[in-house]
């Protein structure tokens, strides 16, 4: 996985057809998805329950791009090896999920994955300042985590601060929540380069009719072009 700051769209399969995950992943990749974003929720750290390691392992053969696994779970550390075995390329843990994010990031990299750290809306950029050298991606939540389809929360000041803290280090800034052609320009202008989009990508399409996925992805990319 080489590093570049080109704008990447990472559809969240939380908005896909749950009965057709393999075909949905293939369809959205064919239509231009750069990464596939997998939201793992435990019903404890966030008020929803989604996928475990076995589900992620089942998704893996269908993902030809990058499998970006976002853990909204607490605790994290005892599950790191399971998600490495499931084939995650990037594994992101929340700074709020436990007392030792430094150790967690070390363990993620030690298991052979890229390490991401996520920040809830109320958590300041400075919370990750001292772990950036262990980090490949910072995920800025622009909704409160737990459900898809929520209203965008403006975090542009935090993104700008992160962009300054990161400097020239090869670290992605990912935005998760409420991304669409209206909000994408705000976060990209502030310094983001990976845009997670769920309903904004999957809206209007299906496995049988995937062309809207491509139209939706292109609309987001067009909104930030130039």
Q: Of 34, 136, 176, 193, which is the active-site residue? A: 176
Distance CA 67, CA 98 (A): 24
Which residue is listed with tokens 């962009």? 163
Rg (CA), the chain: 16
Main-chain dihedrals φ then ψ at residue 75, nearest 5 degrees: -75, 170
Residue 226: the pLDDT is: 67
CB 30 within 8 A of CB 210: yes
Q: Could you confirm whether 176 is annotated as catalytic? A: yes
pTM of the model: 0.97
Helix (H, G, I), strand (E, B) or coil at 201: helix
Starting at the edge strand found earlier in the chain, the sheet holding 36-41 runs: 8-11, 194-197, 172-176, 137-141, 114-119, 90-94, 67-72, 36-41
Residue 200: the pLDDT is: 96
Residue 1: the pLDDT is: 75
Residue 142: the pLDDT is: 97
Residue 2: the pLDDT is: 82
Blockwise average pLDDT, block size 10, the chain, 226 residues: 92 96 98 98 94 97 98 98 98 97 98 98 98 98 84 96 97 97 98 97 97 98 91
Q: Of 39, 89, 136, 193, which is the active-site residue? A: 39
Residues 6+ apart with CB under 8 A from 155: 121, 140, 141, 142, 175, 187
């Amino acid at each position: 996985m080489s590093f570049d700051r080109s704008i990447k769209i990472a559809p969240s399969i939380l908005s896909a057809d749950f009965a057709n995950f393999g075909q949905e992943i293939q369809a959205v990749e064919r239509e231009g998805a750069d990464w596939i974003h997998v939201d793992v929720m435990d019903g404890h750290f966030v008020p929803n329950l989604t996928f475990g390691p076995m589900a992620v392992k089942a998704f893996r053969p269908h993902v030809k791009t990058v499998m970006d696994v976002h853990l909204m779970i607490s605790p994290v550390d005892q599950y790191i090896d399971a998600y490495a075995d499931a084939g995650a390329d990037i594994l992101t843990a929340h700074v709020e999920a436990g007392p030792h994010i430094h150790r967690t990031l070390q363990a993620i990299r030690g298991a052979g994955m890229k390490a991401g750290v996520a920040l809830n809306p109320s958590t300041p950029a400075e919370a990750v300042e001292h772990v950036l050298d262990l980090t490949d991606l910072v995920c800025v939540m622009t909704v409160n985590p737990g459900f898809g389809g929520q209203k965008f929360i403006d975090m542009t000041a935090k993104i700008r601060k992160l962009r300054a803290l990161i400097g020239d280090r090869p670290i992605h800034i990912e935005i998760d929540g409420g991304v669409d052609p209206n909000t994408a320009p705000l976060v990209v202008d502030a310094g983001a380069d990976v845009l997670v989009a769920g309903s904004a990508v999957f809206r209007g399409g299906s496995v049988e009719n995937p062309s809207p996925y491509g139209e939706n992805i292109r609309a987001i990319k067009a909104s930030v072009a130039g």
